[in-house]
Amino acid sequence: MKNEFKFSNSNKRYYTLDYYYKQKYNSKVSKISLNMGLTCPNKDGKVGFGGCIYCSKLGSGDYAGTITKSIKEQFKEIKEVMDRKWPNSKYIAYFQANTNTYGPLDKLKKAWEEALTYENVVGINISTRPDSIDEDCYNYLEGLNKKTDLVVELGLQTIHEKTSKLINRCHSLECFEDAVKELNKRNIKVLVHIINGLPYETKDMMLETIKYLNKLNIWGIKIHMLHIIKNTALEKLYEKEKFHVLSKEEYVDIVCDQLELINENIVINRLTGDPKIEDLIEPTWLIKKVCVLNDIDKELAKRNTVQGIKATF
């Protein structure tokens, strides 16, 4: 069957971020991952200690800029790498490492507003936790959203409370819902992170998380495969309990089922992860990211299906 998915100009049967940006800016748009040197309320004791059990020492910012360098230096260094791949791009300043609304608002504003002055920056992505945006920050973000292409990224990972406790997420589903509502009120785009393969979750549980998100007003979604990396609490749990880690075939099957359920208007920002090879314990098949994405494409074509074909609201 010819690919007839309406938000695509390629073989993709889902709404890719690349397509979204090319339609909006008529250009390749690259993300520049930055590190403000912040921490997390789940690390410093405000809501918990140790962070989520899968979180690396860099706070999920393994590809962000070097913490000892200024935001400007980080941006310049990473931009040079991106420009070798995609010359003449536009850029998103991506504040990625740790919790990027967890700090003095003056410090946050200075970094965000400085990033907007860099050449060809068309937007800002801010990765954070739903329990870490106060009223002043929400109100400031409302104004920032009127000046640039703003996306706020929230880590949900799962809707299941038992799993949430196991991974030490330390915020409730109600807290997540409240954050989405506050961002929606201000017309700020919401991007949600989920993780497939969390310990002891079944395929049905992973699909339930997607069905739940379909009922919310979200702009985009990032789907990650759980990866076990060295020197994390997850590594210790895996050594102790040897919980099941999804095979590539299982993961591809689950992702395709999820894509069929996801509202066709939700932008798919990611379908797999990018662990550092030297830190990865399992699953080793994640190293070949392109192969995973190709297998997802092949499975969707084999099924003769597209994103949203089974969406319910």
Strands (E), the chain: 29-34, 90-95, 121-128, 149-157, 189-196, 220-225, 228-229, 267-270, 280-282
Query: Full-prediction pTM beyond 0.85?
Result: yes
Instruction: Read off the DSSP letter of residue 217.
Output: -
| Residue 283, preceding peptide bond in cis (omega within 30° of 0) | yes
List per-residue pLDDT tens for the chain, 313 residues long: 455 788 988 889 999 999 999 999 999 999 999 999 999 999 988 998 888 999 876 545 455 668 889 999 999 999 999 999 999 899 999 999 899 999 999 999 999 999 999 999 999 999 999 999 999 999 999 999 999 999 999 999 999 999 999 999 989 999 999 999 999 999 999 999 999 999 999 999 999 999 999 999 999 999 999 999 999 999 999 999 999 999 999 999 999 999 999 999 999 999 998 888 999 999 999 999 999 999 999 999 999 999 999 998 6
Residues near 162 by beta carbon (within 8 Å), at least 6 away in sequence: 200
pLDDT digits (tens, 9 = 90+) for 80-106: 999 999 998 999 999 998 999 999 999
Angle at 216 between CA 129 and CA 26, to 5 degrees: 85
Q: Which two tokens stand for residue 126?
A: 């801010």
pLDDT in tens, 266-296: 999 999 988 889 999 999 999 999 999 999 9
Structural domains for the chain:
17-303 (3.20.20.70)
How many C-alpha atoms does 47 have within 13 Å on its Cβ side? Answer: 19
| 3-class DSSP assignment, residue 16 | strand
Between helices 248-261 and 289-303, what is the axis angle to 10°?
50
170 Rama sector, left if φ>0, alpha if ψ -120 to 50, beta otherwise: left
Q: Which residue has the tokens 């010819």?
A: 2
